[in-house]
Amino acid sequence: MRFTPDHEWVRLEGELAMVGITEHAAAALGDIVYLEIKAPGTHLAKGDILGVIESVKAASEIYAPIAGTVSEANTCAIDDPTLIGQAPEGEGWLARLQPSDSSEIDELMDADGYRALLDSLGAEQ
């Protein structure tokens, strides 16, 4: 599993890249009430908006961690967005992408790198 500075994770499963938000992001967002993901077939450059998560507090955009084409949204999480808060790195995944170049995933932070990022954010506060 790899991580972005926007607190998303991405994991290759077969040919598809699964995308979600991290435990840290889910805890920061609070109760999640709505998920919207771009339609399957949408081409996204790295950093394009993949979708939107709304918590009780606010709306937050989800960015494509790598370039690719939307293959599938997690319809269970769309029907019951509380799944995202309960298991953000498991059942509460957001979408599957067909990567343009799956080696882009390797360029992202690994778990240690992401933990170091969280530590530095914690140190700032």
Partner 1 sequence: MPLHYPTGVLTEHRWTRAHAGLFDVSHMGVAFVQLDRRSPDAEADHRRLAELIEPLVCGDLRALRPGELRYSLLLNETGGIVDDLLIGRPTDPAQQGSLFLVVNAATKECDFALIAETLGGAVQVDRRDPWGMMALQGPEAAPVLEAMCPGVSELGFMQFAPHEWREQSILISRSGYTGEDGFEILLSPAVAPSFWNALLEDARVRPVGLAARDSLRLEAGLPLYGHDLGPETSPIEAGLGFAVHRRRRDAGNLRGHARLACELAQGPSRIRVGLRVLEGAPAREGAVIARDGEPVGVVTSGGFSPTLGIPIAMGFVPPSLSAPATRLEVVVRDRAQAAEVVPLPFVPHRYVRHTHAGDMHALHPRP
Asked whether 67 and 47 are in contact (CB, 8 A), the reply is no
Our finding on whether 34 is near partner 1 (CB under 8 A) is yes
Burial class (CB in 10 A: 0-12, 13-18, 19+), 106: exposed
Minimum distance from residue 82 beta carbon to partner 1 (Å): 8
In angstroms, how far is CA 17 from the centroid of its own chain?
11
31 binds partner 1 (CB under 8 A): yes
Residue closer to partner 1 by CB (options 60, 100) is 60
- Determine if 57 is a binding residue for partner 1 (CB under 8 A): yes
Residue 64: helix, strand or coil by DSSP?
coil
Question: Rule CB under 8 A: is residue 59 a binding residue for partner 1?
Answer: yes
Residue ranges that bind partner 1, judged by CB under 8 A? 30-31, 33-34, 36, 52, 54-57, 59
